[in-house]
Structure 1
Amino acid sequence: MSAPERISPRSVTALDLLTKGELTVRGRVREASNAVLFCSVAFDGDEAHCVYKPVAGERPLWDFPDGTLAQREVAAYEISESTGWGLVPPTVLRDGPYGEGMVQLWIETDPAAGELLALVDTEEPGDGWKPVGLADVGEGRTALLVHADDPRLRRLAVLDAVINNGDRKGGHLLPSPGGRLYAIDHGVTFNVEDKLRTLLWGWAGEPLTAEAKGALGALADALGDDRSDLSDRLARLLTAAEVAAIRARVADLLAGGRHPEPSGNWPAIPWPPV
């Protein structure tokens, strides 16, 4: 799908466009487990492509309340913006052709971007890579799954720990022209129980960077108490217990000063990994 953008994915205009623009469905992303519609959105002379995920198209999950995945996607954007990292494309909750849903700016990927994930036939990951674990590649053979030792991925690993992402797969990583990295598909997030499941375990147990501590500190300040602006926005998207759990995870990360490790109570790596 070709989607030339006329706006910057970080501009205020992007949120205005997504919120107020006229949505026109152009197609459907068939490989998605829930309804994902590829749309154009136009408002006041601006136009772009976007993704629309109507609540009515969400499949029920045993461990999440029905009809809440779209809200969780928007909450992930709110948290991402509050860290200052801008890892999630502009995302809003609005009415659309098939009812209320999540609408997110479409991000074009850079075909020239280097690989972020790989399978290698060695016991060590090699320079510039971090090991995740062994993967079954068929016929009784295994290979080492690795991800790039990339500061953009490291920021994303911290964000995923904060939002308790239960489904960070390789296909959710979108390197864009200009070197920016975006991440998508954040419906399975913010559970009050530990659900962290990701391909980005390469820094597990390692000290957080000074940058990460600064971003977490800023996020803690923004969360404040139930009367803060961020908390008020999150309260419209999540339950009070889920917002309280965000504060607790941020506090734990700052107190421990390290990237989390797999708990052992939940599969650590999503399946399929891509």
Structure 2
Amino acid sequence: MVASTTVKLNTGALMPTVGLGTWKSAPGAVEHAVEFALKNGYKHIDTAAAYGNEKEVGHGIKASGVERSSIFLTTKLNNPDQRNPGPALEASLKALGTSYLDLWLMHWPAPMTPEYKADKSYDWLDTWKSMEKLYLENPDKLKAIGVSNFSVEFLERLLKEAKVVPAVNQIELHPSCPQQDVVDYCTSKGIVLTAYSPLGSDNSPLLQNPVVNKLAQNYGVQPANILISLQANKPNVTVLPKSVTNSRILSNFTVVDLTDAEIAELQAIDKTAHFRACSPGWTGWGSLGFPDCKHLD
């Protein structure tokens, strides 16, 4: 395989393959991380209303001096805002200091109350229909819409009624959580995958995995580069490494071309070491199709 630098969305837009993730990046630190990343070649920044750092991400974008038109910016609709996505969109635009989003995602198919309890009186599919309406009526504000944390079951239900096919499904992807059924389904429907937690989150055992370390030594890179490169070598996948440390932000941007055999070797790690870093259990929707997860932190 040859790692891509961009992936084409079903809108025709090009999404940079490697972006800076900002989940768990604290205010203050994230502003600098965004500024530094953009000044050093990154063109893709991912955040979310739920992260509580949209304002700082916006400050980092402004401080970088990089033209907004050169940046692919993603944020996400928070679960408690699913009944009122219009005001939530305006709040995100204001916080980020931008007039438009390149991509707006439904963070989870799980409407919630302001107290972050499952709101089972409201259907997430109605949220998607509201997002579609906003997208179709405001092309100057929304360049693309998509979803996050959607399993095949949820995608199938959405596509039965959707007017707009999601441009992206952002999910956890790494060798111990390959979610191949979701990858295959999205690829068949023209939906790009964005891989979050590509390293397996903080203190991931993948960084000590012998297969990962062998390949890192062979290519003269860090184990993190192998894990990021695994996703970048897939034709329908973009990837979001996260760091607030300058040296790691620079290092994470280095992608190597892996062979098919090496990709298969990395994917096989899941057979002996399976885990997920992000648990949907907190949503209270575990009985509705979310897979079991394990926290590492």
TM over 0.5: no
| Structure (1 or 2) with the greater helix fraction | 2
Does 1 or 2 have the higher relative contact order (CA < 8 Å, sep 6+)?
A: 2
TM-score scaled to structure 1, two decimals? 0.26
TM-score scaled to structure 2, two decimals? 0.24
